[in-house]
Structure 1
Amino acid sequence: MTELFSPELGYPALFFLSFLAATVLPLGSEWLLVAMVAGSYEPASTVLVATAGNTLGACSTYAIGIWGGAYLIKRILRIDENSQKKAERFYSKWGQWSLLFAWLPVVGDPLCLVGGIARVRFSFFLLLVVIGKFFRYALLAWGTLQAV
């Protein structure tokens, strides 16, 4: 599977991995972004591609929250009840603004799900998720450039 996501495959691999990392599979896309930025890929384009893929993945989780049932949540997203409850507590404490943290491991995907279940206005959902995910990838790219 790692051949599918190698830095040599470039932006399509990064987009696809970033999308999957925000949905079904327990994957991380950060390593590929770092490898590409450390290599010959243009940092701004790399950040934008990763942000777009990860955001679209989050949108699919949001859609499952709106239209999906318990089967999709447990079988497709594989979000266990404990993670969902953590996200709901986080969401109830911080409200819609918690979607800025959709990039976090463990609670990020369930936050997007809860955003859909709570019927957060899509334009607001999208704005908060894009901001959070963009800054995460931009910080990773900046740190990579500082290290190389």
Structure 2
Amino acid sequence: MIDYGGLFLAAFLAATLVPFSSEAILAAMFAAGRYDPLWLWAVASTANILGALVNWGLGRYLIRFQDRRWFPFKARERIKAERWFARYGVWSLLLSWVPVTGDPITFAAGLLRVELWRFMILVTLAKAGRYAVVLFIVYGAT
């Protein structure tokens, strides 16, 4: 059985480019009834926000390595995210919770030098809000 540490790891990886979904783990842990819902929400949200911060840091400080094979964002993804970000601005970070497209948006925010405080506020609202909705849905279904 997964514990809070496993949930943290799943939520952190889900916010990076590792193809992973943490919502199912969060929902299963909540439905099991053995975990505090507030702690589940806090752990998942914190880990997912920290994963997004890694993407921001990659964009801000490690872009010079973009031609390396190990670099997690391909040129196509980067260009798409930059266009999206240029069109919708910093408010597009409210979509950072969206699977697949959210990760490149957080990377583009770093690349385009979005201030860390602004990034953290918008990403926190998006990601913590998403996990709150997941818990609410599972609560209603149980």
User: TM-score if structure 1 supplies the norm length?
Assistant: 0.88
- What SS does the aligned partner of 1:119 have? coil
Asked whether 1:62 is paired with 2:56, we answer yes
Calculate the aligned-residue CA RMSD, in Å. 1.7
Residues 113 and 146 of structure 1: CA distance in aligned 2, closer, same or farther (over 3 Å): same
Moved more, 132-141 or 66-75: 66-75
- What SS does the aligned partner of 1:120 have? coil
Residues 68 and 101 of structure 1: CA distance in aligned 2, closer, same or farther (over 3 Å): same
Residues 32 and 120 of structure 1: CA distance in aligned 2, closer, same or farther (over 3 Å): same
- Counterpart among 121, 131, 147 of residue 141 in structure 2: 147
User: TM-score if structure 2 supplies the norm length?
Assistant: 0.91
Q: Whole-Å Cα distance in 1 between the matches of residues 141 and 6 of structure 2? A: 23
Q: Which blocks of at least 5 consecutive residues in structure 2 are unaligned?
A: none
Alignment-derived partner of residue 116 in structure 2: 122
Asked whether 1:106 is paired with 2:100, we answer yes
Deviation, structure 1 residue 12: 0.7
Deviation, structure 1 residue 46: 0.6
- Counterpart among 10, 13, 19 of residue 17 in structure 1: 10
Alignment-derived partner of residue 21 in structure 2: 28
Indicate conservation of the 8 Å contact 1:73/1:79, yes or no: no
Identity %: 36
Alignment-derived partner of residue 83 in structure 2: 89
Q: Whole-Å Cα distance in 2 between the matches of residues 118 and 52 of structure 1? A: 23
- What SS does the aligned partner of 1:9 have? coil
- Which amino acid in the other structure matches residue 22 of structure 2? S
- Which amino acid in the other structure matches residue 140 of structure 2? Q
- Counterpart among 34, 47, 65 of residue 71 in structure 1: 65
